[in-house]
Structure 1
Amino acid sequence: MNFILYSDVNDSSISASLGRPEYSYYFVLKAYRPVLESLGRVHVAGSVTDVDVIYRQLLAAGEDSVFLSFTPPQKTPVDLQCPTICVVAWEFDSIPDEQWDDDPRQDWTRMLARHGRVITLSSHTATAIRRAMGEAFPVLVLPTPLWDSFATIRQQHQPMPVNPGTALAIKGCIFDSRTLGLSADALIPTPISPEEQAALAAAIEAARPPPLTFKRRLVIARHYLRLWVLDLGHEQAEPVPRVKFLHNWYWEGIRDLLPDALHGWLQQRWPEVCGAAPVAVIEPAPLDLPDTSSVVETTVEGVVYVSVFNPKDGRKNWHRLISAFCWAFRETPDATLVLKITQNDLASYYSELMTLLAQLTPFACRVVVMHGYLDDAQYARLYQAASFYVNASRCEGLCLPLMEFMSSGKPVIAPDHTAMKDYIDESVAFVVKSSEELTIWPQDTRIIYRTLRHRPDWGSLKDAYENSYRMAKAQPQEYQRMSAAAVERMQHYCAFAPVRKRLAEFFALTAGPTDAAPVTDNASC
C-alpha cells in the first residue's frame, strides 16, 4: 500500500506559519508518518496537483495508493483519480451540513460523502460526523502517535512537583512579570495641572492650519488639480478614484463658504463629490517591541505551570487562564506560570497581554511569557521545568501540547470536554468544570450560531490551581502517582503500537515492523 500525504503547511513554510488556523495539521502529518511507513510506502506531495501524478505512476507499476489529506474537508479535493481520505481535527458538536457563499464545498456532509470514509483525531469528532452522516459511515478514530517520542525525556528526567531551578532559553524574547514594572495605575490617565492644560491648548492652537484666504483656496485647488492630472495616465484601481480629488477640494477649499441648505441640496445631486467629509486616519504610535533575533534565558523554580497556545486563537481562553492563576497565587511567590506563545507576530497580542497583566497587579506569583522559536533541546527543558501543564480551552480538536506534557509524565489541569474527553479524568488531571454554550463554525462567514462549544468555569480553574499547588507542596507521593497515571494513559491512548493496529485494521493491511521513528516537532493543536 502507498500512502500519499499532503498538508498546506510543509517543512519550508512551517516557521512562517505559526498562528495559522490549520498549521497544526503539519505536526499531525509528521507524527502519523512513521506509523504509515510501517504499513507501506509514504509519498509526501508538494501540492494537490502532484497527487494524481504520483497515483498514476504507482498504478502503472501495479501498486495501490490512497491519498490522506491533512486539510479540512472544504479544502480537500473530491475530483481526484486517487482514492481520497480527509484527516479531520474538529472541536465542535456538529459539522457544517449546509453551504454558504454559493460554495458547496462548505457543506462537509457533501464532501465526506464523496470521499466515502474519514479519519478523525478524537472520538468527539467521530461522534459529530456520525451524527450528520449516519452511524454506518466509516470513521477511524486515530489519535496522533506521540507517546514513544518522549521515551528519552521520561528516561532522563523524573517528574518533580517542586522545581529546584531550571534554565530556559529561547530565540526570541522573554517577558517576566517581576521585571516589567507593570501597574494598574499606569492604565489610568494622569490628571494634568492647569499650566499643562494651557500648554496643551497652545500646542493645539499652533497646530491649526492657517486661515482659508482666497490665495490659500487657490493653492488647495491647484494641489488637487495637479493630483488629478498626474493620475490621468494610470489605470483606475478603485471604481471612482479621481472623483476623490474633487471631493477633497470641495471639503477643504469651499465647503465652509456654502450655507447648510445649499450643501444639503448638493449632497443629494452630487453625492460622490459633496457626500461625507473625508475621515482623517490617525496611525497608532509604533510599539516599542524588544529584539527577537537573539537567544535569551531565564530560570524558573518552585511550582511551575506551563501552557502553550496562540493568543489569536479564540478557543484558548487564555485571559481566564492567566487571571485565575494570578488570583489563586496573589500571595504565593513560588508559583510560576510559563506561557510559550505559538504566534509569530508579537505586535498582534503584546498590548493585550501587557494590559491584562497590569490589570491583575499586584501579585506575588510570577508570569513568564516566552515568544519565539524553541528547538528540540530547549523544548525538552520546558518539559523538564513543568510541575503541571494547564489547559483552559473552550474546545479542542486534539491538543498536542497537553498530550506531550502528559507523555513526559506531567499531571495537568484541564477540562474533560471535546477531544480531551478521550484522555482526561481525575486520575491524571485536576478537572476543570465546564458548561455548553452556543457558538459559530469558525469558517462560517455568515456568523450564524449553529453549534456548541464549552465554557470553562473560572472558579473551578482557580480551585484546580490551588489544589494542585497543595499536592505539589504537601503530597509528593500523590503527585508521583498522578504522574505515572498520565504516562500510562498516554501509552494506551497514543503509543505507536495501538495506533498502528487501528490503522492496519482500517485499511485491511498486515502490520509490518513495530519500531517507531521519533517525532521531535512540537505544536499547539
Structure 2
Amino acid sequence: MNFILYSDINDSSISQNPAQPDSSDLLLKAYRPLLETLGRVHIVHSVAAVDPLYRQLLSAGQESVCLSFNPPQTTPFDLECPTVCVVAWEYDSIPDEQWDNDPLQDWTRMLAKHGRVITLSSHAAAAIRRSMGDAFPVLVLPAPLWESFAAIREQHASTPVNAGTTLTVKGCIFDSRLMDLHPDNLLPEPLTAEEQAEIEARLEASRPPPLTLKRRYVIARHFLRLWLLNLGHEQTPPVPRVRFLQNWYWEGLHDLLPERLHDWLGKRLPTIAGPIPVPVVAPAPRELPDTSVEVQTHIDGVVYVSAFSPTDGHKNWIQILTAFCAAFRDTPDATLVMRLTQSDLTDVYEHLITPMAQLAPYACRVILIVGDLDDREHARLYQAASFYVNASHCEGVCLPLMSFMACGKPVIAPDHTAMQDYIDESVAFVVGSSLEVSIWPHDPRGLHRARRYRPDWGSLKKAYENSYRMATTQPQDYQHMALAAAERMRNYCAVPALQERVADFFGLASHAGNVAQVTDNASC
C-alpha cells in the first residue's frame, strides 16, 4: 500500500507565515513513521500532484490512498486517488449545513463523498457518527508520539523539583523577576503644569477660524470645485461625488441647523447628512525586543509548562496565568513557563504583558518564551518540567500535552473532548469543567451550533496547590504519577498499539505484524 500524504500547511508555508499556528503539518510528520511500517509513504505539497502519482503507482500495479490533513471543506473530493480526511475536531457536532451558498461547508456531504474518515479521538468520532450514523467507517487514530521521546525518557528520570536548568532561545524571554511589573506602572505619569499648558496652547492654535459668511462661501466654493473636477475622471479608488456634498454640509452648514432638523436630514439623506467616517489611526509602534539573537534563562523549583498562541482563545491561557499567580502569590519556588507558539511580539504585549502587570505583585515566577528552540533545547524544556498545564475549552488534539506525558510528566488538565481518552486522576490533577454553548470556529455566521467546556477556575487553582504539595512533600506519589503518565502514552499512542487499527481500516490485515521500516520513502 502507498500512502500519499498532503497538507496545505507545510515547512514552506510556515516559513512564509511563521505566526500561523497549525497542527496539521505536525500531525502529518507524526503519522509518517507509523505508516512507513505498513507501506510506502509519499509526501506531496500540492493537490495537483496527487493524481499523477496515483496513476504512476497504479500502472505499476500498486494500490494507493491519499490522506488529507486538511479539514473536510478544503479536502478535494474529486480525485481519482481514494481520499481519506484526517480530522482533529473538538466540538460535539460537525457542520451539517452549508452557508454562503457553499455546499462544501456541509461536512456530511464531504465525508459521504470520501466514504470514511480518520479522527484523532473518540470524542471526534462520536460527533461524526451523530451526523453520519453509527455504520459510517471511522478510524480513531491518535498521533503516534511515543517513540519520538524515547531518548528523553532514557536520559532523564522525572523529578518533582528542578535543581536548575538553563534554556537557550533564539528569540526573547520575558521574566517577571526581571521586569518592573506593578499595576501602577500601567498608569501614565501625570502631566506637569507646563506640559498641560503646552497641550492647551496647541489645541487652541489648531482651532479653525470662526465660520463667517465669507468663510462659508469659500468652503462651498472649494467643495463645488472638487465636485466639478471629479466629473468625468476615473479615480482608483473612485471618490463618491456625494462625499463632496457631505463635507460641505458638515463643514459649512451643519452648525446653522437645529438638532431636530439635522436628525431629520440624517434619516432621509444619510449619504449627505450622515456622520463622516473617522479613519482609524494606528498607535505608534512599540519598541520591541530583538528576536534574532540567542538569549538564556535559568529555571528551577517546581516548574509548570504550558504552550499556546496568545491569540488562541480556546486554550484559555488567561486562567492558566491568573490561577497560577493566585495559588502561588507567596511561593517563590513555583515557576510557570509559557511557551508561545506565535512570534508576533505585539500580540504578546497586548494579551500577556498587561495581565502580568495587573496581577503583580507576586512571589512566584512567570517566564514567557518567544522564539525557536532547537531539538536539544526542546529536550531540556521537557526535562525541566515538573508538570504540564492545560486548561482548554476544548481540544481536537493536544500534541504538547501528549508529548510531556510521553516524557513521563504528570499534568494538570481537564478530562473532556480529545483529552478524555487519556486523562484521569492516575496521571493528572483533573480540572473540573461544565458544558457551554459554542460556535463552529470557521462559521462566519457565529451561530450556536455546538458545545464546548468551561473549565472551573477554582478547580484549576486547587490543582496547582495540590500538585505543588505533592512535588514538595510526596515525591514517591509524584514518581508513581510520572510513571503512570508515560505508561498511559505507551498504551495510547505507541506504533505497535496503532498498527493493527490502521491495517484493519485499510484492509491490510496480512501486514499488521510487519514492522520492518521501509527505507525508500521520500517526499515527492
Note whether the superposition's TM-score is higher than 0.5: yes
* Distance (whole Å) between structure 2 residues aligned to residue 516 and residue 461 of structure 1: 43
1:302 — aligned with what? 301
Alignment of 1:338-417 (within 5 A): 338-417=337-416
Which runs of 5 or more structure 2 residues have no equivalent in the other structure? 519-524
Segment of structure 1 superposing worse, 206-215 or 472-481: 206-215
| TM-superposed deviation, 1:257 | 5.8
2:108 — aligned with what? 109
Determine if contact 1:99/1:107 at 8 Å carries over to the other structure: yes
Segment of structure 1 superposing worse, 362-371 or 192-201: 192-201
* Distance (whole Å) between structure 1 residues aligned to residue 224 and residue 428 of structure 2: 68
Structure 1 residues 241 and 44: alpha-carbon distance in aligned structure 2, compared to 1, 3 A threshold: farther
Which runs of 5 or more structure 1 residues have no equivalent in the other structure? 518-525
1:90 — aligned with what? 89
1:511 — aligned with what? 512
Segment of structure 1 superposing worse, 422-431 or 224-233: 224-233
2:522 — aligned with what? none
Instruction: Number of aligned residue pairs: give it.
Output: 516
Structure 1 residues 305 and 274: alpha-carbon distance in aligned structure 2, compared to 1, 3 A threshold: same
Determine if contact 1:9/1:17 at 8 Å carries over to the other structure: no
* Distance (whole Å) between structure 2 residues aligned to residue 320 and residue 516 of structure 1: 44
1:480 — aligned with what? 479
Determine if contact 2:230/2:241 at 8 Å carries over to the other structure: no
| TM-superposed deviation, 1:246 | 4.8
2:13 — aligned with what? 13
SS in 2 for 1:354: helix
* Distance (whole Å) between structure 2 residues aligned to residue 291 and residue 489 of structure 1: 41
* Distance (whole Å) between structure 2 residues aligned to residue 493 and residue 359 of structure 1: 41
Determine if contact 1:35/1:516 at 8 Å carries over to the other structure: no
Segment of structure 1 superposing worse, 203-212 or 482-491: 203-212
Determine if contact 2:173/2:367 at 8 Å carries over to the other structure: yes
* Distance (whole Å) between structure 2 residues aligned to residue 515 and residue 58 of structure 1: 21
Q: Taking structure 2 as the reference length, what is the TM-score of the superposition?
A: 0.91
* Distance (whole Å) between structure 2 residues aligned to residue 376 and residue 281 of structure 1: 43
Determine if contact 2:223/2:244 at 8 Å carries over to the other structure: no
Q: RMSD of the alignment, in Å?
A: 2.6
| TM-superposed deviation, 1:309 | 0.6
Determine if contact 1:38/1:512 at 8 Å carries over to the other structure: no
Structure 1 residues 242 and 147: alpha-carbon distance in aligned structure 2, compared to 1, 3 A threshold: farther
> In structure 1, what residue type is equivalent to 2:141?
L
1:520 — aligned with what? none
SS in 2 for 1:56: helix
1:66 — aligned with what? 65
| TM-superposed deviation, 1:410 | 0.7
Structure 1 residues 60 and 269: alpha-carbon distance in aligned structure 2, compared to 1, 3 A threshold: same
Determine if contact 1:430/1:464 at 8 Å carries over to the other structure: yes
2:521 — aligned with what? none
* Distance (whole Å) between structure 1 residues aligned to residue 25 and residue 417 of structure 2: 21
1:521 — aligned with what? none
SS in 2 for 1:464: helix
> In structure 1, what residue type is equivalent to 2:128?
I
| TM-superposed deviation, 1:409 | 1.0
SS in 1 for 2:450: strand
Determine if contact 1:428/1:485 at 8 Å carries over to the other structure: yes
SS in 2 for 1:50: helix
Determine if contact 2:219/2:248 at 8 Å carries over to the other structure: no
2:310 — aligned with what? 311
SS in 2 for 1:153: helix
| TM-superposed deviation, 1:494 | 0.5
| TM-superposed deviation, 1:121 | 0.4
Determine if contact 2:68/2:84 at 8 Å carries over to the other structure: yes
* Distance (whole Å) between structure 1 residues aligned to residue 232 and residue 348 of structure 2: 42
Structure 1 residues 389 and 278: alpha-carbon distance in aligned structure 2, compared to 1, 3 A threshold: closer
| TM-superposed deviation, 1:217 | 6.9
Structure 1 residues 515 and 421: alpha-carbon distance in aligned structure 2, compared to 1, 3 A threshold: farther
Segment of structure 1 superposing worse, 152-161 or 57-66: 57-66
1:455 — aligned with what? 454
| TM-superposed deviation, 1:119 | 0.3
> In structure 2, what residue type is equivalent to 1:414?
A
Determine if contact 1:166/1:301 at 8 Å carries over to the other structure: yes
SS in 1 for 2:11: coil
| TM-superposed deviation, 1:334 | 0.5
Determine if contact 1:228/1:245 at 8 Å carries over to the other structure: no
| Percent identity between the two aligned chains | 63
1:184 — aligned with what? 183
| TM-superposed deviation, 1:399 | 0.1
| TM-superposed deviation, 1:209 | 3.8
1:123 — aligned with what? 122
| TM-superposed deviation, 1:161 | 0.8
* Distance (whole Å) between structure 2 residues aligned to residue 480 and residue 219 of structure 1: 81
| Alignment deviations for residues 253-272 of structure 1 (CA, whole Å, 9 cap, x no partner) | 55446666776676567543
Determine if contact 1:217/1:254 at 8 Å carries over to the other structure: no
Determine if contact 1:326/1:363 at 8 Å carries over to the other structure: yes
* Distance (whole Å) between structure 2 residues aligned to residue 432 and residue 189 of structure 1: 39
1:148 — aligned with what? 147
Determine if contact 1:432/1:464 at 8 Å carries over to the other structure: yes
| TM-superposed deviation, 1:338 | 0.2
Q: Taking structure 1 as the reference length, what is the TM-score of the superposition?
A: 0.91
